[in-house]
Chains A and B, each alone.
Chain A
Amino acid sequence: MPDQTLFEPRIIGLCCRHCAYAAADLAGSSRFEYPPSLKIVAVPCTGRTDVVQILRTFEDGADGVLVAGCLPGRCHYLVGNLHARKRVDYLAWMLEQIGLQRARVRMINISAGMGAKFAELANEFAATIQQLGPTGLKMKRRAREITLVNRGMANDSR
């Protein structure tokens, strides 16, 4: 069992700027407490989030990722939040393949007026991550993304 007394989880909240970001703001101004371990990143739409971004977030040391988008049917771009949910499901499956727990990633749907609900769900997620403990990942080396220049292709007119 991980030592939970010393464990300060790092949680990233990817919040849609049309709803959850404003809900987090409202939670703050209404003095509903949500955990300081949650670092909020505003995204234009949860549909903008990608599996590879979230995997890299875990690689970079996150213990949990909360994706917070609009209520179903209320997406500013119609179905961005529904796409995000599918990706989060895929990601949860992927985390399991990797050897991490599915519960480390979660999607919630919330409106801009639901400040109290945001605080409640954020606290719930933070408690889950606290219970799961650290991921155990200590990546020492940053991976290289190599861009290749294809040589000898000057005459390729296809």
Chain B
Amino acid sequence: MIVAEQKPIEEIKRMLRGKSKVLAVGCGTCVAVCFAGGKREVGVLSAAIRMATELDGAPVAVDEALVQRQCESEYVESLRELLGEYDAILSLGCGVGVQTLAEHFPDTRIYPALNTKFMGAPVQQGVWEERCLGCGNCLLDTTGGICPITRCAKHLMNGPCGGTDRNGRCEVDPQTPCAWYLIWERMDKLGLQEELLKVRPPKDWSTSHDGGVRRIVREDLKKPDLNDETQ
């Protein structure tokens, strides 16, 4: 899932300065399950802003709504009839949600209430950790299902650097296990260490963000065009 966390209230207050009526819109998908932008978080943040701005003497009326999936036009369309009532939308979606709202409603000011952090998973209740960098060319088949691109700060392809400590921890952060230590242990358990001895060529980063904005086109899913006679 996409994992996000709420911006400080002070920062959100600064964005909303001068506005009198704002609609806070949550998203019922990724940010709801990481407790950053679901219905409950919309309730908490909206109440906090209402009270904080009231105390500042410049009250902002914040109403609350939730879109099931803020990154799809069909879902956000249901907000359209409400827009006339508000000075701005405060989105509790991830960066994709905020931009979908901005693209869909070009005349409305959209503010982000969250910082989108990473693609990850909960490792225990209340703790989320990054697991995928979206490099566009998955190599998990060769590393025992543990990603060295995401979980090694140096994105190393051929084993650990010299910064791993005796307990298999990373020099960047002693709380983080060395990805290559984990990979070796796992491959060892699977009896596949031999595979790790093969040298991997440097990674082609053009499939990652380095290649610019990425796009996937699925012709089979596109809407048929009645005017296209070549079909």
Distance A115 CA – B15 CA, assembled complex (angstroms): 49
- B75 interface residue, CB < 8 Å from A? yes
Say whether A99 contacts B55, CB under 8 Å: yes
In contact, A153 and B75 (Cβ under 8 angstroms): yes
Give chain B residues whose Cβ lies under 8 Å from the Cβ of A89: none
Report the interface size class on chain A.
Answer: 20 to 34
CA distance A156 to B73 in the complex (A): 13
Inter-chain contact A98/B51, CB cutoff 8 Å: yes
* Minimum distance in angstroms from B24 CB to a CB of chain A: 9
Does residue B88 face the partner (Cβ distance < 8 Å to A)?
A: no
- Hey, which chain A residues are within 8 Å of B46, CB to CB? 143
A56 CA / B62 CA spacing, docked (Å): 13
Give the complex CA separation of A150 and B40 in angstroms: 19
CA distance A69 to B46 in the complex (A): 27
Q: Which of B77-112 contact A (CB under 8 A)?
A: 77-79, 82
Smallest CB-CB separation from B48: which chain A residue?
Answer: A98
Taken together as a complex, chains A and B put the C-alpha atoms of A148 and B46 apart, in Å, by 17
Digit string of A109-140 for contact with B (CB within 8 Å is 1, else 0)? 00000000000000000000000000111111
Selecting from A3-11, A32-40, A47-55, the interface stretch reads A47-55
Docked complex Cα distance between A126 and B131 (Å): 48
Question: In residues 45-98 of chain A, which contact B (Cβ within 8 Å)?
Answer: 50-52, 55-56, 58-59, 94, 97-98
- CB pair A144 B9 closer than 8 Å: no
Interface size grouping (class) on chain B: 20 to 34
Does B65 contact A146, Cβ atoms closer than 8 Å? yes
A38–B52 Cα gap in the complex (Å)?
Answer: 25
Q: Which of B9, B65, B67, B74 contacts A97 (CB 8 A)?
A: B9
Write out the residue numbers on chain B whose beta carbons fall within 8 Å of the beta carbon of A100.
51, 55
Q: Which of B43, B55, B62, B77 contacts A136 (CB 8 A)?
A: B55
Docked CA distance A136–B55 (Å): 7
Q: Which residues of A contact B40 (CB under 8 A)?
A: 50-52
Cβ-based interface call for A149 (8 A): yes
In the assembled complex, B33 has its CB within 8 A of some CB on chain A: no
- CA gap between A152 and B54 in the complex, in Å: 38
Contacts of A52 in B (CB 8 A): 40, 43-44, 47
User: How far in angstroms is the closest Cβ of chain A from B50?
Assistant: 6
Give bound CA distance, A150 to B220, whole Å.
26
Known A52-B40, A94-B44: A153·B74 in contact at CB below 8 Å? yes
Task: Report if A145-B63 is in contact (Cβ < 8 Å); known contacts: A52-B44, A150-B78.
Answer: yes
- Residue B119 CB within 8 A of the other chain: no
**Residues of chain A with a CB closer than 8 A to B82's CB:** 146
Q: List 15 A-B contacts (CB under 8 A).
A: A55-B43, A55-B51, A59-B47, A59-B51, A98-B51, A136-B55, A139-B54, A143-B47, A143-B50, A145-B65, A146-B65, A148-B67, A152-B77, A153-B74, A156-B74
Chain A interfacial positions (CB closer than 8 Å to B): 50-52, 55-56, 58-59, 94, 97-100, 135-141, 143-153, 156
Having A52-B40, A149-B78, one finds 13 other A-B pairs with CB under 8 Å, namely: A50-B40, A52-B43, A55-B47, A94-B48, A137-B54, A139-B50, A140-B59, A143-B50, A146-B63, A148-B65, A148-B78, A150-B68, A151-B78
Residues of B within 8 A of A (CB): 8-10, 23, 40, 43-44, 46-48, 50-52, 54-56, 59, 61-68, 74-75, 77-79, 82
